[in-house]
C-alpha cells in the first residue's frame, strides 16, 4: 500500500514572505506526523527561498517518521546531506528562475555525477531516489547508478485536461512503474497531486510513496495541517 510523505516547503514559504519566525515548518511536521504521515519531505533549494539550513537541522532532530530531503546534485548540497544524514534524499534538477521543480532530473546526462553521489549517500546510510519523467532511459540510468528508488514525475498527469490525455499520462506512469520494478527500483510518485486528482494515481498498484506538498499546505491554511493530512491519507487508502 502507498504511503504519504507531506512536503512542507510552503509552510516555510509563508514564513519567508515576511522573513519572520512563523509559521515554523517544524511544528507543521509534528502535526503531519500526528495525522499519520509516513514521512516529511523538504526541498533545500540553493536560493533558500523557503526551507533554510536551520529547518533541515531541526527537522533531522525532531522528525520521528521518514525524513526525505530533496536536493540538486551540487557539491554544497551533497555535503549538507552527508552531514545531516536524512533517511532519504530525492535528487531533483534545479533552476533558480523556476516557480517549482519543472522537469525530471536528467540521469542519462548526469550519470557519472549521479553514480558518485549515490555512492557517497550510501556510505552514510542514506537511501537515494531520483525524481524523473517516466522514460525508460531515465529509469535504467537510475538503476545503473545504484539508486534505491525513483520518484515518477506526475506533473504532466496533473496538467492534463482531457480524459484522453489524462489516461495517456496514467498509462505512462504505469509503464514507468513496470520498468522501475523490473530494474529492482522502489517506485514513488509526486508533483502536482491534489485532493481532486490523487485517486486514479493512488489506484495504481506498486507505487509505494507519494510526495505531496502544495495542495496539502493550501488546504491546511483553512482546516489545519493535521486535518489536511488526514484527508489526503484517506484518499490514498
Residues that bind ligand PXP (CB under 6 A): 7, 9, 43, 70, 90, 92, 100-101, 131, 151, 190-193, 211-215
Closest separation in Å from C-beta 128 to ligand PXP:
13
**CA–CA gap between residue 6 and residue 209 (Å, rounded):** 10
Sign of the four-CA dihedral 27, 39, 116, 98: negative
85 vs 214 by CB, closer to ligand PXP: 214
Closest separation in Å from C-beta 39 to ligand PXP:
12
What are the residue numbers of the active site? 43, 70, 191
**CA–CA gap between residue 148 and residue 185 (Å, rounded):** 6
**CA–CA gap between residue 137 and residue 98 (Å, rounded):** 25
User: How far lies 215's CA from each of 1, 129, 208, 222, in Å?
Assistant: 21, 22, 19, 12
Beta bridge partners of 88: 68, 127
7 vs 229 by CB, closer to ligand PXP: 7
43 vs 177 by CB, closer to ligand PXP: 43
Closest separation in Å from C-beta 87 to ligand PXP:
16
Closest separation in Å from C-beta 104 to ligand PXP:
9
Contact at 8 Å (CB) between 74 and 46?
yes
33 vs 70 by CB, closer to ligand PXP: 70
**CA–CA gap between residue 7 and residue 39 (Å, rounded):** 9
Amino acid at each position: 500500500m502507498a504511503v504519504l510523505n507531506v512536503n512542507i516547503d510552503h509552510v516555510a514559504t509563508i514564513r519567508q514572505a515576511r522573513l519572520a519566525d512563523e509559521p515554523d515548518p517544524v511544528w507543521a511536521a509534528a502535526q503531519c506526523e500526528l495525522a499519520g504521515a509516513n514521512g516529511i519531505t523538504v526541498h533545500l533549494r540553493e536560493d533558500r527561498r523557503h526551507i533554510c539550513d536551520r529547518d533541515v537541522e531541526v527537522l533531522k532532530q525532531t522528525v520521528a517518521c521518514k525524513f526525505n530531503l530533496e536536493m540538486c546534485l551540487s557539491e554544497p548540497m551533497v555535503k549538507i546531506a552527508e552531514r545531516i544524514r536524512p533517511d532519504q534524499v530525492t535528487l531533483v534538477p534545479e533552476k533558480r528562475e523556476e516557480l517549482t521543480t519543472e522537469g525530471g532530473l536528467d540521469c542519462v546526462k548526469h550519470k557519472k555525477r549521479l553514480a558518485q553521489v549515490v555512492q557517497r549517500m550510501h556510505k552514510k546510510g542514506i537511501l537515494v531516489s531520483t525524481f524523473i519523467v517516466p522514460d525508460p532511459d531515465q529509469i535504467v540510468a537510475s538503476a545503473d547508478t545504484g539508486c534505491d528508488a525513483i520518484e515518477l514525475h506526475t506533473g504532466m498527469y496533473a496538467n492534463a485536461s482531457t480524459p484522453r490525455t489524462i489516461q495517456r499520462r496514467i498509462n505512462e506512469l504505469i509503464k514507468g512503474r513496470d520498468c522501475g520494478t523490473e530494474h529492482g527500483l522502489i517506485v514513488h510518485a509526486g508533483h502536482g497531486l491534489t485532493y481532486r486528482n490523487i485517486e486514479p494515481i493512488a489506484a495504481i498498484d506498486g507505487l509505494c510513496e507519494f510526495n505531496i506538498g502544495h495542495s496539502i499546505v493550501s488546504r491546511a491554511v483553512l482546516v489545519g495541517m493535521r486535518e489536511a493530512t488526514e484527508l489526503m491519507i484517506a484518499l490514498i487508502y
